[in-house]
Amino acid sequence: MPTKVLVIGACGQIGTELTMRLREIYGGEQVVASDIREGNEELMSSGPFETLDAMNKSQIEDICLHYEINEVYLMAAMLSATGEKFPKKAWSLNMDSLMHVLDIAKEGKVDKVFWPSSIAVFGPTTPRENTGQHTVMEPTTVYGISKQTGERWCEYYSNKYGVDVRSIRYPGLISWKTLPGGGTTDYAVDIFHKAVAEGSYDCFLKEDTALPMMYMEDAVRATIEIMRAPLKEIKERSSYNLSGMSFTPAAIAEEIKKHIPEFTIEYNPDFRQEIADSWPSSIDDSAAREDWNWKHEYDLDNMVTEMLSHLK
Ligand code: AKB
Minimum CA distance residue for ligand 1 atom 7: 118
Q: What angle do CA 22, 24, 29 make, to 5 degrees?
A: 75
Q: Is 183 in the pocket of ligand 1 (CB under 6 A)?
A: yes
Which residue has a Cα nearest atom 1 of ligand 1? Answer: 183
- pLDDT number for residue 174: 98
Phi/psi for 154 (5° steps) reads -60, -45
Q: Residue 159: which pLDDT band, with cuts at 50, 70 and 90?
A: very high
Q: Is the CB of 185 under 6 A from ligand 1?
A: yes
Please compute the mean of the pLDDT values over residues 183-189 and round it to a whole number.
98
* 161 and 26 inside one domain: yes
Say what percent of the chain tops pLDDT 70.
Answer: 100
Q: Which residues does residue 170 pair with via DSSP β-bridges, in sequence order?
A: 118
DSSP E strands in the chain: the ranges are 5-8, 31-35, 49-51, 71-74, 112-114, 117-118, 164-166, 168-170, 172-174, 200-203, 211-215, 240-241, 245-247, 264-267
ipTM confidence score: 0.98
With a 6 Å cutoff on the Cβ, whether 172 touches ligand 1 is yes
151 and 119 in a common domain: yes
pLDDT single digits (tens) 43-76: 999 999 999 999 999 999 999 999 999 999 999 9
Residues 130 and 270 in one domain: no
Band of pLDDT at residue 1, cut at 50, 70 and 90: confident
Instruction: Count how many domains the chain has.
Output: 2
What per-residue confidence (pLDDT) applies to 230?
98
Sheet holding 117-118, edge to edge: 117-118, 168-170, 240-241
Q: Specify the pLDDT at position 181.
A: 86
Residue type (1 letter), 15: G
Question: Alpha carbon of 132 to those of 167, 195, 284, 296: distances in Å?
Answer: 16, 34, 5, 17
**What CATH code is carried by the domain that includes residue 274?**
3.90.25
Neighbours of 255 (CB within 10 A): 17
223 CB-contact burial (10 Å; exposed 0-12 / middle 13-18 / buried 19+) = buried
Collapsing DSSP to helix, strand or coil, 216 comes out as helix
Average pLDDT of 161-174?
A: 98
Q: Within 13 Å of residue 188, how many CA atoms lie on the same side as its CB?
A: 28
User: What is the 29 CA–ligand 1 centroid distance (Å)?
Assistant: 31
- Cβ atoms of 117 and 239 within 8 Å: the answer is yes
| Same domain? 135 vs 154 | yes
DSSP state of 283: B
**Same domain (yes/no): 181, 299:** yes
What mean pLDDT comes out for the span 207-213? 98
Tell me what pLDDT residue 68 has. 98
Strand stretches in 223-293, DSSP E: 240-241, 245-247, 264-267
- Is residue 96 domain-shared with residue 161, that is, in the same domain? yes
146 touches ligand 1 (CB under 6 Å): no
Q: Are residues 18 and 95 in the same domain?
A: yes
C-beta 211 within 6 A of ligand 1: no
Separation of alpha carbons 74 and 167, rounded Å: 10
Q: The CATH number of the domain where 32 resides is what? A: 3.40.50.720
**The predicted structure's pLDDT at residue 2:** 86
Note whether 218 and 298 are within 8 A (CB): yes
* Annotation says 143 is catalytic: yes
Q: Are residues 20 and 141 in the same domain?
A: yes
Predicted confidence band of residue 205 (pLDDT cuts 50, 70, 90): very high
Å from CA of 109 to ligand 1 middle: 30
Report, as an integer, the average pLDDT of 98-123.
98
Can you give the pLDDT at residue 180? 84
9 and 57 fall within a common domain: yes
The closest residue, in CA terms, to atom 8 on ligand 1 is 172
- 169: three-class secondary structure by DSSP: strand
Catalytic residue among 67, 143, 240, 298: 143
263 lines ligand 1 (CB under 6 A): no
Q: Are 74 and 153 found together in one domain?
A: yes
65-109: per-residue pLDDT in tens?
Answer: 999 999 999 999 999 999 999 999 999 999 999 999 999 999 999
Q: Are 185 and 213 in contact (CB under 8 A)?
A: yes
- Could you give the CA distance from residue 234 to residue 242 in angstroms, rounded to a whole number? 14
What are 254-294's pLDDT values in tens digits? 999 999 999 999 999 999 999 999 999 999 999 999 999 99
Residues 221 and 293 grouped into a single domain: no
Range of the domain at 263: 172-213+245-311
Q: What is the mean pLDDT of the chain?
A: 98
Residue 197: predicted pLDDT: 97
160 shares its domain with 231: yes
Mean pLDDT of 179-195: 95
Alpha carbon distance 244, 235 (integer Å): 21
